[in-house]
Amino acid sequence: MGVWIYICRQQASILERVAMNKKVSIIFSLIVLSLVILLIYSQNKYNRSPVEYQINIETADINLKDVHLVKFNNAIYLGANYYIEQKGQYQKVDGLNIKGTIDNVLVLDVAAGGNPFEGQQNNPVRYLGEGGIFNKVKISDDTLFKVHIVYTVDHVKKEYFENLKLSDYRKKLVN
């Protein structure tokens, strides 16, 4: 009888270990599955294709050209090669201040004192600023790029305001 009790206890112990191993296997499988789902979700969320916006602004006296904004995840990059050009060669532009905001973040801020076109009568163009990266900017196609330009032409102060919907300036990317 003692042998029979010993064998029954051994079988019960084996069954308990098998049941415990099964529980551990199920829990481990659920953890691995959750991590795989989280990894796939984060890769899809954070590795989206960049979106480029190309903006040209015309005022009565000057043009702001080639403002390139590139959206990538929750950041925006302002390209460095934007410039202004004077429309009338015989006007005296004096003092220039350009500001552009997206989601209340100042992404474009340029000021030029004096005549920015001085000495450039044949080609009245001036490259303005440097580019930059702005993090944690929420951008969608409904986002507005708010532009405010203040300048003086022939001693008359002028202001230009415009709210540009970014979707209207989206540039198609070539694959």
Is 102 exposed, middle or buried (CB count within 10 Å of its CB: 0-12, 13-18, 19+)? buried
Q: Is the model's pLDDT at 138 over the cut of 60? A: yes
The CA–CA distances, whole Å, from 80 to 61, 69, 133, 135, 139 equal: 22, 10, 11, 17, 20
- What mean pLDDT do residues 31-50 have? 80
pLDDT digits (tens, 9 = 90+) for 44-78: 766 677 888 999 999 888 889 999 998 887 888 99
Q: Supply the DSSP symbol for 139.
A: -
Same domain, 41 and 59: no
The domain total for the chain is 2
Confidence at 2, pLDDT banded by 50, 70, 90: low
Q: Pick the residue with more confidence: 122 or 148?
A: 148
SS3 126: strand
Name the nearest CA neighbour of 162 among 83, 55, 87: 55
For 83, other C-beta atoms within 10 Å of its C-beta total 14
Same domain, 156 and 79: yes
User: Between vectors from CA 151 to CA 130 and to CA 166, what angle results, nearest 5°?
Assistant: 55
Confidence at 31, pLDDT banded by 50, 70, 90: confident
- What mean pLDDT do residues 141-170 have? 90
Name the nearest CA neighbour of 139 among 57, 52, 66, 59: 52
Q: Which of 13, 30, 47 is the last residue of a domain?
A: 47
Same domain, 20 and 80: no
Residue 20 belongs to what domain range? 1-47
For the whole prediction, is pTM greater than 0.75? no
Same domain, 141 and 67: yes
Q: Which range, of 2-11, 17-26, 132-141, 146-155, averages the lowest pLDDT?
A: 2-11
Instruction: Quote the pLDDT of residue 163.
Output: 94
Same domain, 83 and 7: no
Q: Supply the DSSP symbol for 87.
A: S
Same domain, 10 and 78: no
